[in-house]
Amino acid sequence: MTDYALEFAALKKTFRTLRGPVEALRGLDLQVRPGEIFGYIGVNGAGKSTSMKVLLGLIRASSGTARVFGEPAGSLAARRRIGYLPEVANYHEFMSAAELLRMHARLAGVPRALQAERCRDALEVVGLTGRQHGRISEYSKGMKQRVGVAQALVSDPPLLILDELTSGLDPFAQRDLRDILLRLKQRNITVFFSSHHMSEVEAICDRAAIIHRGQLQACGTIAELTENRQRVEMLWDPQSVAEPLAEIDPQGQAAVASQDADEFVERALGRGYRLRRLTTKRSNLEDVFHDLTRKIDQEVASCSR
Amino acid sequence: MLSLMEIARVQLLENVRRQVHLITLFMAAAMLMLPAYVNAFSMGLQAFQLVTKDFGLTLISYYGVAMALLLGSSVVPRDIERKTIYPILSRPLGRVTYLGGQFLGTAGLVVASLFLLTGAMGLGLASLSRQWDAGLFAAAWGYSLECSVLIAVCICFSTVASPPLAGVLGFFVYIVGGMSNAFLEFFLREDRGANGVADLVEGMQRFTPNFSLFHLKYPVVHGFVIQPHYHLAETVYALAWILLFLLLAGIRFETRDL
């Protein structure tokens, strides 16, 4: 029996395109424990959806391994344990939510005697009981996402993979879905979800990982990710500077991670900036994410020059 | 097996939702009226029946081929483009099962349409001649098999090409596979002297289904008896080609990144 609900080991994926190979994953290593709500953060194109699709066998890894409860990713055994909500969740819109759930219960191999109960249960979890007979095409985006979560739940899987669950939803719908995730945690379901909403990840996740340029950049509890990280916010006098720094905006404001502050201040002073104000504050997840990804982008840019 | 039938059911419903059946119903109404229309210009009862059957079955055949090409070449790419394929393939089922379900759902609709049209034409004929010609359905079965093979061909091509290209390639296979020996020998070789083209077509025919085996229009129109074992043989022949094309599609689709 494996210790992990899912794990990636040295996972690589290279897409062949007309413009040449594109490396979407560059040796991704990550483990998610059973029962966790795990946030998966990254910019668009970081490799989140690609790695999720590898778990489902929708995309084949170029090298490395991916496992779901010890089973090879993409295998039938692995897929029996997964409920998946894709990033763009389109369903057969002529169906009602009830019909869609029944269809997925059948496809998932739920025994006939249990199908009605599972559908009822999934609808109850997402708060759609009594509204399951309307056509999906007539649902709002928030309701469609709920239907998506319900279809993922209908096979009673121990692992839920939700790709950008709250993307494009209004704040009320986002909060409803967050509440649903917390209810799922009480059922000991592992939730692996990607998001662009840092506050959401901070609010509900046991652990989170930051992925950028196809590699894991940081992983841990929110406290671990933000611990010992401070952010230095500065106000500079931007006037009479011949060569402005990209990090300082036209109003003279800049913010960097504390460990980079000395080097940055030296650089700014060297360019002729005058420091007006400097304050430090504890970083939140969004700051950590920005600092990490920006630093990597700068390193890549300097290497390619 | 349950997954296969479930996907077939959903695909059938999806095609119905696309209102393909409305075109069929319109065609059926036309087929119902066709005998009366032909009769108005006929010289006698026998001629009217022959002309109606010939013309009607030709129309039904073309309709089936057009539907097979359009639906067969778009059924899988459409699911990929609309991303409805992701939640389905995240379930514990093989991609070959998915393709098989898509094939069954599409072929089911086309076959039902062909039988509906044939029934409508038969009904129109019977209302005038007071005779019900069950032999028409022998021709419909042949066309059904032909269209089913063509759908499998198009699904196979659609796993490697865009829907329009898959449709064109499917049509090419249909033309090459349906070209009769008489056409090759008398028209291409003897009349036109195009031996090279005839040789090329003959070479390609080794790798394509012989669609002319499914064309039972002339024996049906002229009232010849078709032996049951012929239907069995053409069915087995069609199934073999369908399985081959779905297998090829499955091999390609299994390794495709979605």
Complex ipTM > 0.85: no
pLDDT greater at residue B18 or residue A78: A78
The span from the CA of A303 to the CA of A129, in Å, is 55
Q: Backbone phi, then psi, for A250, in 5-degree steps?
A: -60, -25
Tens-digit pLDDT profile for residues A182-221: 888 888 899 999 988 888 888 888 899 999 989 998 898 9
Report whether pLDDT(B5) > 70: yes
Tens-digit pLDDT profile for residues A77-132: 999 999 999 887 788 878 888 999 999 999 998 998 999 999 998 888 888 888 87
pLDDT band at B231 (very low <50, low <70, confident <90, very high): very high
The span from the CA of A32 to the CA of A209, in Å, is 10
Residues of B in contact with A56 (CB under 8 A): 86, 89-90
Report whether pLDDT(A241) > 70: yes
pLDDT greater at residue B187 or residue A50: A50
Report whether pLDDT(B43) > 70: no
Tens-digit pLDDT profile for residues B146-203: 999 999 999 999 998 999 999 999 999 998 888 877 777 777 777 777 777 778 888 8
pLDDT greater at residue A246 or residue A36: A36
Please choose, from the candidates B64, B253, B88, B76, the residue with its C-alpha nearest in 3D space to the C-alpha of residue B162.
Answer: B76
pLDDT reported for residue A240: 67
The span from the CA of B179 to the CA of B197, in Å, is 12
Tens-digit pLDDT profile for residues A295-304: 888 777 777 6
In degrees to the nearest 10, what's the CA dihedral of B176, B177, B183, B185? 90
Q: What is the mean pLDDT of chain B?
A: 87
CA distance B255 to chain A (A): 7
pLDDT reported for residue B229: 92
> Quick check: B257 and A59 CB within 8 A?
yes
Least confident interval from A107-116, A237-246, B249-258: A237-246
> Which two tokens mark A151?
């279809």
Report whether pLDDT(A235) > 70: yes
CA distance B145 to chain A (A): 28
pLDDT band at B52 (very low <50, low <70, confident <90, very high): confident
pLDDT reported for residue A238: 72
CB atoms within 10 A of CB A38: 22
Tens-digit pLDDT profile for residues B73-110: 999 999 898 888 999 999 999 899 999 999 999 999 99
**Nearest CB to A56; choose among B10, B83, B90:** B90
pLDDT reported for residue B111: 94
Report whether pLDDT(A305) > 70: no
User: A107 touching B, CB under 8 A?
Assistant: yes
* Radius of gyration over every alpha carbon of chain A, rounded to an integer in angstroms: 22
Q: Residue ranges of the domains in chain A?
A: 6-225, 226-304
Tens-digit pLDDT profile for residues A1-41: 568 999 999 999 999 888 889 899 999 999 999 989 999 99
pLDDT reported for residue A262: 86
pLDDT reported for residue B224: 86
CA distance A108 to chain B (A): 5
CA distance B250 to chain A (A): 14
Q: What percent of chain B has pLDDT over 70?
A: 98
For the whole model, what pTM was predicted? 0.84
> Which two tokens mark B100?
């098989």
Domain A6-225 has CATH 3.40.50.300: yes
pLDDT reported for residue B45: 63
pLDDT greater at residue B46 or residue A36: A36
> Quick check: B7 and A107 CB within 8 A?
yes
Residues of B in contact with A104 (CB under 8 A): 87, 91
User: A109 touching B, CB under 8 A?
Assistant: yes
Residues of A in contact with B255 (CB under 8 A): 60
Long-range contacts formed by A149-152: CB under 8 A, 24+ apart: A149/A85, A149/A125, A149/A177, A149/A180, A150/A97, A150/A101, A150/A122, A150/A123, A150/A125, A150/A126, A151/A83, A151/A85, A151/A91, A151/A100, A151/A101, A151/A104, A151/A122, A151/B87, A152/A83, A152/A84, A152/A85, A152/B87
Residues 6+ apart with CB under 8 A from A267: A245
pLDDT reported for residue B44: 62
Closest residue in B to A150 (Cα–Cα): B87
Give the up-direction half-sphere exposure of residue A267: CA atoms within 13 A in the CB hemisphere.
13
Mean pLDDT, to the nearest integer, of A60-73?
Answer: 92
Least confident interval from A48-57, B39-48, B188-197: B39-48
User: A99 touching B, CB under 8 A?
Assistant: no
> Quick check: A106 and B6 CB within 8 A?
yes
